[in-house]
């Protein structure tokens, strides 16, 4: 039952439009820093572009996808009209306004601080205010998801919350809480300085606040992908979810352990002692758990589909899978990239191994593989799956869809594998250009060239994606029926209260954040003399 | 499927799932223990203490005044290197150190966030203004190493490359005889 289709389509279209722009900027950046495109020697333009790319891909695009998908889940899984439609539109327009407000100073070169802000570098006030508006807009969505679930619970006392909605609300709480870190950094530290009320800032403390957001935000990006793994893929390929309980456990584990781990981003920083770094490293290891559980459950669910289609033998069933189904293809690509990216992640979080790759191009390779690869390819799959229900028209050209997914997969591998390699060689990240004439850097030229080629394969794929969706808006009308989610092999008759509600897990999430962050923040906030003069971007 | 069959298949599913979960937990606990062991036994730990310094005064007094930057041979045979990063260079731009010697790198930033990375080694630390970074290092072969700034520090970031020259122990001792702070700049 999708009633507010316009609302959902608005979120998706704005998300994919800004995604298209940011993707183009990304390809351009890779081109000009490679040996094939050294015609541009103005790093200032490069960093404007990098700030725009990161801000859109990090804050605007995934947030809008999660929101649009969340509204669709709320309506179709709960089978009830969305409560608070007017608020939902308000949230949407706040994000549009915030995005435009942030992009103007970036385009003018007044906010080239990258999406991770980097105080004491201080950009134009409107850039930060724009980001704040995007976050505030998304918080409206968080509240609406919670309210809609509450309304449904009242109408269905004691009933089991559908898995998709359970996961969706868990994802929204994760976002609400993780965004608090960056919000504190912006409101307490950066905005007063950008507004000219203060001229010093504690860079170390600001970095700790940001790390609160910086890792859990990845899991917020990941949640729609995992919802698609569990509740869309098995249905689309004609299978069943192996275990509903395991799915719920995976989502609440994300909620609890994804939050208090961000200090692993500051392993090499001087403002936190070794003890808290170790604690965060151990917690980061824990966050691999929900992913390992998911890999098992989804492989088992896929195997069920294959065996229902007549697949036999220990591995023979793999051939029986519906490989011409885009959803199957997207899942397989997503899992391969998640595998490589996850293995890289285990290296990053390792207390000792991190030193070899910290802040090198390896890191860029890692998160592009996870976010740009494993996550975004499932965003495509979600859009393809929802589109006929949102437009009332069929997506006919499955071949084009498969080609698009193949391009994305190949493009991502060609882009990120060389990045991992040059990272190991010690190539720093965020460089506008390299002096390939230097004999010590020259051997990396080939790898950088490959990445640039990968960038253009990705851009081609992105264009194909938008074309497919746009054509889908004008295809012949066809009734797609009700939007359904996958059912479990053994549908739960009763679930434990703890796996049907979120309160316990939200409390744990907050408590763990306080124990893992309370002391480092308090310690830094009370140490005198750590504030340093702000350095205003574009003021020199 | 009869009721009994369903019951059995639920049991099998739960058992397989429990085993997988147990394997996953063992892998993760194993990794954390490995990290703890390596940290304690082989002393590969990040900087334990937090030290602060005022970047607007480092050029006036204290450890990071210009005359105190560079390498110094300590009485116990170890070497201490002091350096600062600022937009968009390191001081000293080229660090000279002896091979096979325990070296302590102490560094800070004079303005924004920078980073020091020595290519081909595991030396990699952030320079955050207001704080002192300390890292232990030891080179096993002589030669020149590139030392780029690894953290975005505004428009000139891509031009911020330092160098480390690792030389023979006796050469270094000879040069250190006259006292003072060494760097390879101007050599």
**Helices and strands in chain B: count of H runs, count of E runs:** 2, 11
Q: pLDDT tens across B55-100, in order?
A: 989 989 899 999 999 999 999 999 999 999 999 999 999 999 999 9
Confidence of residue B186 (pLDDT cuts 50, 70, 90): low
For the segment A178-233, what is each residue's pLDDT rounded down to a tens digit?
Answer: 999 999 999 999 999 999 999 999 999 999 999 999 999 999 999 999 999 999 99
- Mean pLDDT value across residues A112-138: 95
Give me the interface pTM, i.e. the ipTM. 0.91
A154 vs A283, higher pLDDT = A154
Using only C-alpha atoms, chain A has a radius of gyration, in whole angstroms, of: 23
pLDDT over threshold 90, residue B34: no
For chain B, say whether A488 makes contact (Cβ under 8 Å): no
Rounded to 10 degrees, the C-alpha dihedral A41/A43/A48/A54 comes to: 110
Q: What is the pLDDT of residue A39?
A: 66
Question: Distance (Å) from the C-alpha of residue B186 to the closest C-alpha of chain A?
Answer: 20
pLDDT digits (tens, 9 = 90+) for A513-534: 999 999 999 999 998 888 999 9
Residues of A known to be catalytic: 215, 219, 366-368, 429-430
pLDDT at A540: 45
Mean pLDDT (whole number) for A484-503:
90
Lowest average pLDDT, out of A187-196, A333-342, A426-435, B139-148, goes to: A426-435
Tell me which residues of chain A, numbers 389 to 428, contact chain B at a CB-CB cutoff of 8 Å.
425-426, 428
* Residue contact B146–A441, C-beta within 8 A: yes
Surface of A (277-296) touching B: CB under 8 A: 277-278, 281-282, 285-286, 288-289, 292-293, 296
Q: How confident is the model at residue A380 (pLDDT cuts 50, 70, 90)?
A: very high
pLDDT at A388 over 70: yes
Nearest to A364 by CA among A281, A411, A420: A420
pLDDT of residue B80: 96
Q: Pick from A299, A428, A520, A525 the residue to mutate for testing the B interface (most B CBs within 10 Å).
A: A428
B104 touches chain A (CB under 8 A): no
- In chain B, the residue whose alpha carbon lies closest to the alpha carbon of A276 is B48
Other Cβ atoms within 10 Å of A231 Cβ, number: 25
Does A37 score more than 80 pLDDT?
no
Q: How confident is the model at residue B7 (pLDDT cuts 50, 70, 90)?
A: confident
Can you give the pLDDT at residue B163? 95
Contact yes or no for B13 and A273 at CB 8 A: no
Query: In this predicted structure, what is the pLDDT of residue A528?
Result: 83
Residues of B with Cβ-Cβ distance to A358 under 8 angstroms: 117, 124, 150
The neighbouring-strand residues paired with B124 are: B117
Residue B6 has pLDDT above 50, yes or no: yes
Mean pLDDT of chain B: 89
Within 8 A by CB and 6+ apart from A56, the residues are: A18, A19, A21, A22, A99
Q: How much of chain A exceeds pLDDT 90, in percent?
A: 85
Give the Å distances, CA to CA, from A336 to A329, A331, A339, B83: 11, 9, 5, 43
Please give the average per-residue pLDDT across A42-50, as a whole number: 92
User: CB under 8 Å to A277, separation ≥6 — which residues?
Assistant: A263, A264, A266, A267, A351, B46
* Mean pLDDT on A127-136: 96
Which chain B residue has its CA at the smallest distance from A204's CA?
B128
On whether the CB atoms of residues A427 and A34 are closer than 8 A, the answer is: no
Closest CA in chain A for residue B119: A426
**B40 and A CB contact within 8 Å:** no
Which chain A residue lies closest to B152 (C-alpha atoms)? A430
In this prediction, residue B10 carries a pLDDT of 78
For B117-160, how does the pLDDT look when each residue is reduced to its tens digit (9 = 90+)? Answer: 999 998 999 999 999 999 999 999 999 999 999 999 999 999 99
pLDDT-based confidence at A87, cuts 50/70/90?
very high
User: A75 pLDDT band (50/70/90 cuts)?
Assistant: very high
pLDDT of B70 reads 94
User: Where is pLDDT greater, at B3 or A81?
Assistant: A81
Residue A48 has pLDDT above 90, yes or no: yes
Least confident of A163-167, A489-493, B114-118, B182-186: B182-186
pLDDT at A459 over 80: yes
Please tell me the distance in Å from B74's CA to the nearest CA on chain A: 24
Backbone angles phi, psi at B71, to 5 degrees: -100, 145
Strands A532-533 and B103-109: unpaired
Q: Do B150 and A296 touch (CB under 8 A)?
A: no
């Amino acid at each position: 039952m999708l009633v507010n289709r316009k609302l959902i389509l608005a979120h998706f279209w704005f998300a994919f439009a800004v995604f298209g722009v940011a993707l183009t900027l990304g390809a351009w950046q890779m081109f000009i820093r490679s040996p094939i495109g050294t015609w541009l020697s103005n790093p200032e333009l490069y960093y404007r572009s990098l700030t725009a790319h990161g801000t859109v891909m990090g804050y605007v695009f995934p947030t809008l996808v999660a929101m649009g998908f969340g509204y669709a889940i709320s309506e179709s899984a709960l089978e009830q009209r969305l409560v608070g439609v007017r608020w939902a539109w308000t949230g949407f327009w706040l994000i549009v306004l915030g995005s435009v407000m942030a992009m103007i100073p970036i385009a003018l070169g007044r906010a080239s601080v990258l999406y991770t802000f980097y105080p004491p570098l201080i950009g134009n006030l409107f850039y930060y205010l724009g980001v704040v508006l995007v976050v505030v807009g998304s918080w409206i969505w968080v509240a609406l998801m919670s309210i809609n679930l509450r309304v449904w619970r009242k109408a269905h006392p004691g009933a089991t919350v559908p898995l998709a909605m359970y996961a969706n609300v868990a994802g929204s709480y994760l976002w609400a809480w993780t965004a608090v870190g960056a919000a504190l950094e912006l409101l307490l530290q950066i905005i007063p300085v950008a507004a000219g009320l203060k001229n010093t800032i504690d860079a170390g403390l600001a970095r700790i606040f940001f790390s609160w957001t910086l890792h859990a935000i990845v899991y917020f990006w990941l949640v729609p992908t995992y919802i698609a793994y569990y509740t869309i893929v098995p249905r689309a390929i004609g299978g069943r979810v192996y275990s509903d309980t395991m799915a719920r456990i995976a989502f609440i584990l994300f909620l609890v352990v994804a939050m208090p781990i961000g200090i692993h981003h500051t392993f090499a920083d001087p403002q936190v002692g070794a003890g808290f770094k170790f604690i965060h490293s151990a917690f980061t290891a824990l966050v691999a758990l929900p992913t390992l559980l998911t890999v098992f459950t989804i492989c088992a669910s896929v195997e069920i589909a294959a065996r229902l289609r007549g697949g036999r033998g220990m591995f023979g069933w793999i051939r029986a899978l519906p490989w011409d189904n885009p959803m199957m293809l997207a899942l397989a690509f997503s899992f391969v990239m998640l595998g490589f990216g996850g293995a890289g992640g285990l290296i990053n979080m390792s207390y000792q191994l991190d030193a070899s790759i910290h802040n090198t191009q390896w890191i860029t390779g890692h998160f592009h593989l996870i976010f740009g690869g494993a996550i975004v390819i499932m965003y495509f799959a979600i859009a393809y799956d929802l589109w006929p229900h949102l437009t009332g028209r069929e997506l006919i050209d499955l071949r084009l869809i498969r080609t698009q997914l193949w391009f994305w997969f190949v493009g991502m591998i060609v882009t990120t594998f060389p990045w991992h390699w040059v990272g190991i060689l010690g190539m720093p990240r965020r460089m506008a250009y390299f002096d390939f004439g230097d004999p010590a850097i020259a051997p990396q030229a080939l790898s950088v060239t490959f990445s640039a080629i990968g960038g253009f394969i990705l851009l081609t794929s992105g264009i194909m994606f938008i074309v497919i969706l746009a054509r889908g808006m004008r295809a012949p009308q066809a009734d797609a029926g009700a939007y359904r989610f996958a059912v479990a092999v053994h549908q739960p008759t009763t679930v434990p209260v703890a796996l049907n509600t979120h309160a316990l897990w939200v409390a744990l999430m907050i408590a763990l954040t306080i124990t893992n962050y309370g002391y480092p923040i308090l310690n830094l906030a009370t140490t005198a003399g750590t504030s340093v003069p702000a350095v205003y971007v574009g003021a020199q | 499927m009869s009721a009994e069959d369903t019951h059995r298949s639920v049991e099998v599913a739960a058992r397989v799932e429990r085993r997988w979960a147990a394997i996953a937990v063992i892998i993760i606990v194993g990794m954390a223990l490995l990290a703890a062991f390596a940290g304690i036994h082989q002393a590969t730990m990040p900087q334990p203490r937090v030290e602060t310094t005022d970047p607007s005064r480092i050029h006036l007094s204290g450890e990071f005044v210009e005359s105190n930057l560079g390498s110094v041979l300590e009485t116990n045979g170890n070497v201490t290197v002091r350096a600062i990063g600022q937009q968009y260079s390191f001081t000293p731009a080229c660090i000279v150190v002896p091979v096979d010697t325990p070296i302590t790198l102490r560094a800070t930033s004079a303005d924004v966030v920078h980073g020091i990375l020595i290519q081909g080694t595991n030396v990699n630390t952030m320079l955050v203004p207001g704080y002192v970074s300390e890292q232990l290092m030891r080179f096993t072969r002589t030669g020149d190493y590139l030392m780029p700034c690894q953290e975005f520090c505004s428009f000139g970031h891509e031009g911020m490359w330092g160098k480390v020259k690792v030389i023979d122990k006796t050469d270094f001792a000879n040069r250190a005889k006259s006292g003072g702070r060494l760097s390879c700049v101007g050599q």
